[in-house]
């Protein structure tokens, strides 16, 4: 068929528009699935790579879950049933050492539950969170978010927000929507996730009273607080409060999650989440020490440690910072977009191997001076997850160290146990992206 001149011009114009649209989408990263598990569907099983049979691996995972969620309440469990209300059963996860409940643990518990296909536990934890911790008053500085800390009876100890909890709540809810399908009310997982994801970026700035319980004394302070992400830097905040200059926490950065929100979250924010993922990847090498790979607990947006304020030890590698290497390594495993994450894991594992795999402590200055000699099971767990990105053969030694570590019990079993449980899932290839059906 011979095209008319007008038809030819139209065809060229349409082709040009399609090319430009496709180029713009590619430039924005909208169509880039990376080279990791999101694109391939393959999740490395580090335990199998080190010689363990699948039945043995599954038994280890199931045993750890049983102990932490349904074991001896006096010495093993961190998950506790707490009656029921009109939305169904209630349950919380408690920090044994401090005898409180934290959004960190509740949201980690929900993530573990959805990965383990345990919807009853997931719903009970979400119901407790919404019942006791959620702020639905538009006048409250934490409106649309959760009190980060409460007593086991649900009474808030701090109505401040801890953004790591909100991030894990959001991701766990999206996975639940895809794995189990959304229900109604608070169990409309997709709607709840969308609402939280929107608030993370857009929550209005609110000035008002905020309650805290300190040393059995009730306090009310006036706070101005807004969203949980800094718009200019596209980074998560340590706290949305304007009580002090804004800064971040390296272990709160979750680029693997942001990539998914850029595909599944509210459409208006998808470019922002792609940019946030890129910003976190650029941030990690700035926050990590160039030799040890250790990050501080708190950092400025340029990666430099926070050295002023009430917490003078925040410039050191401490308990929050355990998680940084796992976060960048899971990002590499799922997306494979930034090879620097592999270098960071190699640096970190080189440092810890030099300390002795069975003996290293759990707190250090960023340049590696020891501050606490305790060999923490949670850090052993996170250092094993770093093997998802590491290139040196010694990475298998860290996986073996996790395998040989018993499920945490006793006083430290809350934080260490939840990190351990998630590490088992990551290192077995069972911590997965649950895609829309």
pLDDT averaged over consecutive 10-residue blocks of the chain (437 residues)? 36 37 42 95 98 98 98 98 98 97 98 98 99 98 98 96 98 98 98 98 97 85 96 96 88 98 97 98 98 98 88 91 98 98 98 97 98 98 98 98 98 98 98 97
Q: How far apart are CA 213 and CA 100, in angstroms?
A: 12
Using an 8 Å Cβ cutoff, are 298 and 238 in contact? yes
Q: What are phi and psi of 314, to 5 degrees?
A: -70, -15
Q: How far apart are CA 121 and CA 239, in angstroms?
A: 28
Q: How far apart are CA 83 and CA 101, in angstroms?
A: 16
* Residue range 362-412, pLDDT digits in tens: 999 999 999 999 999 999 999 999 999 999 999 999 999 999 999 999 999
The predicted pLDDT at position 309 comes to 67
Q: Identify the sign of the CA torsion 243, 246, 250, 255.
A: positive
The predicted pLDDT at position 12 comes to 36
Total residue count of the chain as it appears in this document: 437
CA distances from 316 to 37, 287, 368 (A): 33, 11, 9
- Spatial CB neighbours of 314, under 8 Å, sequence gap ≥ 6: 296, 297, 298, 305, 306, 307
The predicted pLDDT at position 10 comes to 39
* Start-to-end C-alpha separation, the chain: 43
| Rg of the chain in Å (alpha carbons) | 22
Q: How far apart are CA 257 and CA 171, in angstroms?
A: 7
The predicted pLDDT at position 312 comes to 72
Residue among 58, 57, 104 nearest 78 (CA): 104
Q: Specify the pTM.
A: 0.93
The predicted pLDDT at position 30 comes to 63
Using an 8 Å Cβ cutoff, are 192 and 145 in contact? no
Q: What domains are there in the chain, each with its CATH number?
A: 36-76+247-432 (1.50.10.10), 78-229 (1.50.10.10)
Q: Which residues pair with 372 in a beta bridge?
A: 363
Burial classification of residue 366, based on how many CB atoms lie within 10 Å of its CB (0-12 exposed, 13-18 middle, 19 or more buried): buried
Burial 378-417 (b: 16+ CB within 10 A, else e): bbbbbbbbbbbbbeeeebbbbbbbbbebebbbeebbbbbb
Catalytic positions, please?
Answer: 104, 320
Residue among 249, 250, 248, 200 nearest 225 (CA): 200
Pairing of strands 206-214, 217-225: antiparallel
- Token representation of residue 289: 């020490």
Q: Identify the sign of the CA torsion 321, 151, 200, 239.
A: negative
């Amino acid at each position: 068929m011979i095209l008319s001149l007008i038809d030819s011009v139209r065809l060229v114009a349409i082709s040009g528009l399609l090319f430009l649209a496709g180029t713009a989408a590619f430039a924005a990263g909208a169509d880039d699935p990376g080279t990791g598990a999101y694109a391939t569907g393959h999740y490395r099983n580090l335990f199998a790579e080190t010689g363990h049979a699948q039945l043995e691996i599954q038994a280890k995972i199931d045993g750890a879950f049983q102990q932490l969620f349904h074991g001896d309440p006096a010495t093993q469990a961190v998950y506790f049933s707490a009656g029921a209300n009109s939305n169904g059963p209630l349950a919380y996860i408690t920090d044994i050492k401090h005898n409180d409940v934290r959004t960190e643990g509740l949201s980690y518990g929900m993530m573990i539950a959805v990965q383990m296909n345990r919807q009853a536990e997931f719903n009970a934890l979400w119901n407790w969170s919404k019942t006791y911790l959620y702020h639905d008053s538009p006048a409250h500085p934490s409106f649309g978010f959760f009190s980060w800390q409460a007593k086991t009876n649900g009474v808030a100890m701090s109505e401040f927000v801890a953004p790591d909890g909100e991030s894990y709540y959001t991701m766990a809810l999206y996975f639940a929507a895809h794995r189990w399908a959304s229900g109604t009310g608070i169990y409309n997982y997709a709607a709840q996730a969308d609402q939280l994801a929107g608030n993370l970026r857009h929550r209005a700035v609110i000035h008002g009273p905020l309650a805290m319980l300190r040393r059995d004394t009730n306090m009310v302070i006036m706070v101005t607080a807004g969203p949980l992400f800094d718009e200019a830097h596209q980074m998560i905040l340590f706290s949305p409060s304007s009580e002090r200059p804004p800064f971040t926490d390296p272990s709160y950065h979750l680029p693997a999650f942001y990539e998914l929100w850029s595909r599944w979250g509210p459409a208006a924010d998808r470019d922002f989440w792609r940019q946030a993922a890129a910003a976190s990847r650029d941030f990690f090498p700035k926050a990590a020490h160039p030799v040890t790979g250790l990050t501080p607990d708190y950092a400025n947006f340029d990666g430099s440690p926070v050295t002023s304020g009430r917490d003078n030890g925040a410039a050191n590698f401490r308990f929050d910072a355990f998680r940084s290497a796992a976060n960048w390594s899971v990002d590499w495993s799922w997306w494979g977009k930034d090879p620097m994450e592999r270098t960071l894991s190699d640096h970190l594992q080189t440092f810890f191997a030099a300390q002795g795999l069975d003996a290293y402590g759990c707190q250090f200055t960023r340049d590696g001076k020891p501050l606490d000699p305790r060999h923490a099971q949670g850090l052993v767990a996170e250092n094993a997850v770093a093997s998802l990105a590491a290139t040196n053969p010694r990475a298998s030694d860290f996986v073996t160290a996790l395998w040989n570590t018993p499920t945490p019990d006793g006083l430290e079993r809350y934080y260490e146990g939840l990190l351990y449980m998630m590490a088992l899932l990551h290192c077995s290839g069972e911590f997965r992206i649950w895609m829309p059906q």
